[in-house]
Amino acid sequence: MTRQAKNAQALDAFIARKVEIDAMLARLAALSDEHFDVHPDEVHWGHVGTLAHYAELLKRITDSAFREGEHAE
């Protein structure tokens, strides 16, 4: 297989992963727009904990993507 063919395969795989990430981000944005399906009158500390967990996971991703936190150079 030529280098150009390998690069084309890598590009195809890269674009597929990007599309997958874009879809996840869109779903998260829509869920956030709906207040994570929690009515304001029904919010309790369990919901706060759930959002804290989501934020922690997203921070790990953003730290890696932006070379911040433990990924800082």
Q: What would the pLDDT profile of 15-70 be if each residue is shown by its tens digit?
A: 999 999 999 999 999 999 999 999 999 999 999 999 999 999 999 999 999 999 99
- Which pTM value belongs to this model? 0.84
Question: For residues 37 and 7, what is the distance between their CA atoms, to the nearest angstrom?
Answer: 42
Domains of the chain by residue range: 1-33, 39-73
Residue 6: per-residue pLDDT: 85
Residue 45: per-residue pLDDT: 98
The answer to whether 35 and 29 have CB atoms below 8 angstroms apart is no
Task: Find where tokens 């934020």 sit.
Answer: 55
pLDDT above 90: residue 73: no
Q: Hey, what amino acid is at 47?
A: H
pLDDT above 90: residue 5: no
